[in-house]
Every structure is written in structure tokens, then in C-alpha cells.
Structure 1
């Protein structure tokens, strides 16, 4: 626990200190939202975008807007304590509530934690046997109800993979358990649209914006689940992105090695260059 810094209710806490109520609604029923940011040189990358999505997710759950001044104070406190840590997590829950699903009006819980990240490594993926429901009440929201992702990625790790791909109920490629997908196909790089049920990833949005500015053929397009067969056959490339992993090529799908593809390599370089230019794009 030496590499964890915890902030709650306006002050830093001992990482071993119990800080959440046993009846916090985020604990009992997953009634909360969160954001994970990369930390670069002691600062949270793209914090403004992350806080905007935190607010959108809260509204999607029917929660009051989070107190962003409190969140920023927590971010400053934990990174001031340990600017060398690489990951920042912001969690906002409905606060104290009953054991059932109905909420009790009251103050929200605002928790900010900083911690380490593992070193970069090649990303191996598998297809999951479960699907994402694009019509779910929480589709596209970053909520603390993360059990579906935990189960899917746990199954992936059993076979030596780092991430699992999920289809949606329409039989389209949706997303990974903690990442967005990009497929290089016929000289284009495409990512599923938000209507697929995927999360509106911060890194995903930056890739789309920066690629458009640089004239690269990158865009959104609904992709059939079978596009992953094209990837396995070597006729398409595969990459993923997320706040901690950034934008990286995928080197394996279902045990099949994947070759690097030109456009994915170019976008990988572009993202690294543009991200280094601005801490809060």
C-alpha cells in the first residue's frame, strides 16, 4: 500500500484506513461513476475531458452533478503527495443509501486515489463469449457497476490475454472491457460508433480529432463481429486505446499473432507526439 495515495472528504487518508461506509450506495449496488486518468509529469492528462465525462455519466445515472471543485482539490492533493505515480482514479457515488436500489437523498461520496501502473507490454486479446447490451440503461456510461468487465477480462487472463473484445446484441464489434477498438481495413482505420454501446473513450475522441486534423483516414463505422475474422486472417489490423494504455497495436487475437499494419503504426506515432505536446488537450 506504500504506492497508493487516498483522498476523501477534503483530506488525505492513510491507505490502510477504512474510509467508506458499509452502506455507501456505490458499494452496495454500484451506484456511482468513475474516471481513470494517466499521470504525466505529476499532472493528470486530459483532466478537463475526464471531468466532463464524469458529469455526463453522473447525469446518465440520474445523480446530481459532481462537485468538480472538490474533485480537483483531491487530484491536486494526491498528486502533490506522489507526483511520480502513473494512474489517477476519481470515484463519485450516490453516498449513503439503503441496502436496496432506491437512493436516499444526501451528499455524494467523492474519492480520489493515485497509484502505480504496470510497465508497457504487448497487448494480447481474445473474443469474449459475452455481449454488451447497447440498449442498457447504462450503455456508454462509466459506472462503478463493472462486474461484467471483471468477469470477461478474468476469463481472458486465464488464457494469457490482456483484454477481451465484446460484441453488442446486434452482432457488431462494440469494445473491450476497458478499451475502445480500432480496425485497419482497406486502408482506413475505423472505430465502432457510440451507437454500438461503447464508451465514449477520451483517447478514442483524441485519436479521431487529431487524425482528422492531420488528414489521416480515421473515422467511425459500424463493424460486424466477423471483422475480427479478417484480423485473424491477416487481412485487417487491430489496435486498442484507453487512458492508461494510450493508443497501441494489438499483437495477438485468440492466440493468433498479428502483424503491424502501416496506418496503425502511423496513428500510434501521431498519438504519442500530440499527447506529449499538451497535458490537457
Structure 2
């Protein structure tokens, strides 16, 4: 495997073009085009791995402790051993030190990937094997999103529901569909018609004087930014909460399209990002959505490891 790039629409980031990726693979820095992993690493052959993406502010990874905790939860959910946290932190330090070498601020994204390591060509694993890769790239976030409804559903009963795995094919296909329609994110329903999540984001709906996000039981990822907005919003007195079961059907997006409700995305690639375009039509930004974005942008640089 060579260490490659991610598309400009991945996670809501846009690349600044000022620098290439900095990559650390199992203890060593590697060049972007340099071979880094075995061709039979299970992360390549069957997508057997987990990952986290952190925002980087001025050369420091945001909410790293929370991301590492979720990395461990996802690994255990796949039946993998919890990653060696010190090894991962060493990789993060090496990558960010290299990224800021030469001076100047560095804002962007950092991705931590842990796979089941070298394994057979089938689904079986080699016990005890594990590969760790850390990569960072300078990038800038868009302030708003253009979203489209996905023609596919998220399976809330999947064996990997709620886990952040490298088996990302359905997200790649759904995002490409949204991009082909002029968007930058695709929004899923689950199998019973409830609003679920985006390909790489959580969703909040502003209606009735509240910001409401689908419950985890709907099949969505327990997003770090989602959790922080719930916590920081409550602390600041914003009416933000998790929805009751069946409170947010997928048809709530019809209300958004009509301007009767508003939509907000959250993720480490977007922070808090109001949706201004849905399925080809402009939609307004809600007052609470704008306030939530302002609050998060203020606190995230002051509280780097909340």
C-alpha cells in the first residue's frame, strides 16, 4: 500500500494545497508515495480496521483523548485488541512535529488508522497482528454544507453499526452520489425510516425552538462533535438535546426543504456546519444553528482536549 491522499470532499475539509501529507506508519515517517503497508494487510484486503479523524488547530490535535477512547471502543466492537495508546500518541506527536517543522501555524486534519495487520486473503485474522498509521494534512473547513438525501439506507442492526471502521465503501458511494448532484454530504435514513446521519457526519434538526439530533439507537455514530455540542450547548443554555425514539422521521427533511425547519451537520471535518442547500434548493440557516456554530468555534480552540 502506498500512502495516498483523500478526496477534497472527504469530511468537509478543503485542501489548502500548501503542503503534502505527513505520514507515520508503524514507527517511521514515510513519503506520500512510498510503500508503507503489506499488500496483504487486512485493512486493505477486507477493510478490517478502525480509524479516527481529529481536527488540528495550530499543530495540536483537538479532543485527542476522546478520539482515542472511541478508537478503542470501535476496535473492541470489531473483536480487535485495543490499540496501544502510547504507540498511537507517539505517532501523533511525530506527525504533528514534522507538520509544523519550519514554523508557521498548521490547521487541518489528522487521521489515525488501526488495522488487523497482515492476514490471510479471506476474512479470518492473524491473532496478535496490528498495524498503526497516523497521517496529517493541512486543510480548511467550509462554513456551510450542501447536502442531498441518500437513496440508500443505514442499517441500524448491522454488526458494525455505531463503530468507526475502515469498511467505508457505502459511504464512498453515497458521497459520490451527493457530489454528482452538487452537494458535499449525503444524508441517510435508517431501515425503519428514521433520520440517521451523514456519510461522515451527525445531523441536528432545528425546529420548535430546539436543536434535536437522532438517538444513537437510530444507528448513527456517537460523534465527538455531536457529544460536545450537546454538552457545550446545554452549558451555554442552548436548547439542544437527543431526540426521543421516532421523533425524527426521515420525512423531517421535507420540512427543511420547505423552510419550516433547518438542518445542521457536526463532525471533526466540519465542526458545526449549517446546511444551506438541500437536494438542489437553497434553504435558510436557523438562528439556533448559527448560534451553535458560533459557540463551538469559540470553545473548540480554548478547550483543546475536553
Whether 1:276 and 2:296 are equivalent positions in the alignment is no
Pairing 1:244-259 to 2, within 5 Å after superposition: 244-259=269-284
Q: SS where residue 235 of structure 1 aligns? A: coil
Contact 1:88 1:114 (8 Å CA) reproduced: yes
CA offset at residue 13 of structure 1? 1.3
* Counterpart Cα distance in 1 of 2:269 and 2:150: 22
Q: Which residue of 2 aligns with 1:228?
A: 253
Whether 1:33 and 2:50 are equivalent positions in the alignment is yes
Relative to structure 1, is the Cα distance of residues 118 and 212 closer, same or farther in structure 2, using a 3 angstrom cutoff?
closer
Query: CA-atom RMSD, angstroms?
Result: 1.1
CA offset at residue 273 of structure 1? 1.2
Contact 1:3 1:85 (8 Å CA) reproduced: no
Q: Which residue of 2 aligns with 1:48?
A: 65
Q: Which residue of 2 aligns with 1:265?
A: 290
Pairing 1:83-162 to 2, within 5 Å after superposition: 83=100, 84-162=106-184
Match of 1:239 among 239, 261, 264: 264
* Counterpart Cα distance in 2 of 1:60 and 1:172: 24
1:100-120 deviations in Å (ceiling 9; x for gaps): 001111330000011132452
* Counterpart Cα distance in 1 of 2:154 and 2:142: 27
* Counterpart Cα distance in 1 of 2:161 and 2:124: 20
Structure 1: gaps (5+ residues): none
Q: SS where residue 224 of structure 1 aligns? A: coil
Match of 2:97 among 68, 80, 91: 80
1:7-61 deviations in Å (ceiling 9; x for gaps): 1121211222101111100100010000001100100000000000000000000
Contact 1:26 1:144 (8 Å CA) reproduced: yes
Report how many residues are paired.
Answer: 281
1:180-206 deviations in Å (ceiling 9; x for gaps): 001001101000010000000000000
CA offset at residue 234 of structure 1? 0.6
Find runs of 4+ consecutive structure 1 residues off by over 3 angstroms: none
TM value normalised by structure 2: 0.90
* Counterpart Cα distance in 2 of 1:209 and 1:267: 11
TM value normalised by structure 1: 0.97
Q: SS where residue 216 of structure 1 aligns? A: coil
Structure 2: gaps (5+ residues): 6-18, 101-105
CA offset at residue 85 of structure 1? 5.0
* Counterpart Cα distance in 2 of 1:120 and 1:229: 24
Q: Which residue of 1 aligns with 2:11?
A: none
* Counterpart Cα distance in 2 of 1:82 and 1:74: 12
Relative to structure 1, is the Cα distance of residues 202 and 119 closer, same or farther in structure 2, using a 3 angstrom cutoff?
closer
Q: SS where residue 160 of structure 1 aligns? A: coil
Q: SS where residue 301 of structure 2 aligns? A: helix
